[in-house]
Amino acid sequence: MKIAYLDNAATTPLKKEVIQVMVNALKDNSFGNPSSIQHSYGRRSKSIIEESRLKISKNINSYPSEIIFTSGGTESNNLILRSSVLYLKIQYILTSPIEHVSVLKTILDLSSKYNVYVEFIHIDNKGSLDLNDLEKKLKKYYNKRILVSLMHANNEIGNLLDIDSVGNLCKKYNAYFHSDTIQIIGNYPINMKFAPFDFATASAHKFYGPKGIGFIFIRKELIKQMKPLITGGYQEYGIRPGTENMYGIIGLSEALNLSSCSFYNYAKKMKELKWYCISELKKNIPNIVFNGLSDTNQSIPSILNIFYPKKDHLLYFHLDLMGVAISKGSSCNSYNVKQVSHVIQYIADKKFLRKMTPIRISFGFFNEKKDIDLLIDAFIKIKN
């Protein structure tokens, strides 16, 4: 049976070069504890980590010391948000109702435990942020300790945030800016020297690297103010104690390096796949509805979100049986088959929620037009 994997926003397949570099590291006696620098085994492991950190920093144009390795996106977002409240003494957090659950749930937890005041910035029915409302709220809390937490590209509808405008407002009102950049870093170019973030997050399995490894970018001026959430050794500048996942780190750095060498071609291919998919959907599925800005240039080309014009909780499984892997939204929030994601619930017209089925289609490096043809054929067979 032909198979089309179209859930790359959830996770991506490993590139063969990434597998090879990890296997090589597993085989070549790089088993030493990187903190045991008294002997060559430990120093060898330590050098692999620091060489990887340097390679990553070059690819995103940051200082090596601004990169802190973690287990992935959820830990990274938690570490930044919780450390900001505990150690930067953040009193007010401004965010949006369509952030990833690792941001929303963490912020709500901080609000209840530490009396942090949270306000949600207005989002319209296309998922676009109201910059005027953001400025109004920043002005309201001027001279307070404020953190703005907004994702660069929404992981469900693909909408792109105007990060420069948000960054300028944060600077104007003396607020810190954290961005969940997990759908961006490793897939599209980013220059941290000129980016407006104080904090950003990345996860290797979103850009053809291994699961269980990611990193935080922390602006160098803030590194010394951040402290660990768990106590232990002095690994990762004392911010994230615990023996590092060396094999994951080397896989992450190789994946990022490979992606950085082909950002232009990757983006071009994603755009071609996306517009071909949009065209075929419009041609073959009457009354289809596009969610967010996913059918415009104001979203990343690798994510497309639609309402399929029929209410069917088993649609995803029917497609899977026909060889097509798609999702209803974020994999971190998909355990309840009947529950529509908080993002779609917030922006969608209620009549669509009652009568249609939300679907996220996300393209990747290994996809071709034939995968979209398979998806369209499956939709047609289900419709008939």
Q: What are phi and psi of 176, to 5 degrees?
A: -80, 150
Q: What are phi and psi of 45, to 5 degrees?
A: -65, -40
Token readout for 107 is: 């912020």
Q: How far apart are CA 140 and CA 143, in angstroms?
A: 9
Closest CA relative to residue 209, chosen from 261, 247, 266, 265: 247
Q: What are phi and psi of 215, to 5 degrees?
A: -155, 160
Q: How far apart are CA 96 and CA 76, in angstroms?
A: 18
Q: How far apart are CA 229 and CA 226, in angstroms?
A: 9
Token readout for 41 is: 């085994």
Q: How far apart are CA 149 and CA 176, in angstroms?
A: 9
* Contact (CB, 8 A) for 254 and 17: yes
Q: How far apart are CA 381 and CA 363, in angstroms?
A: 22
* Contact (CB, 8 A) for 48 and 30: yes
Catalytic residues: 332
* Contact (CB, 8 A) for 281 and 306: yes
Token readout for 13 is: 């397949």
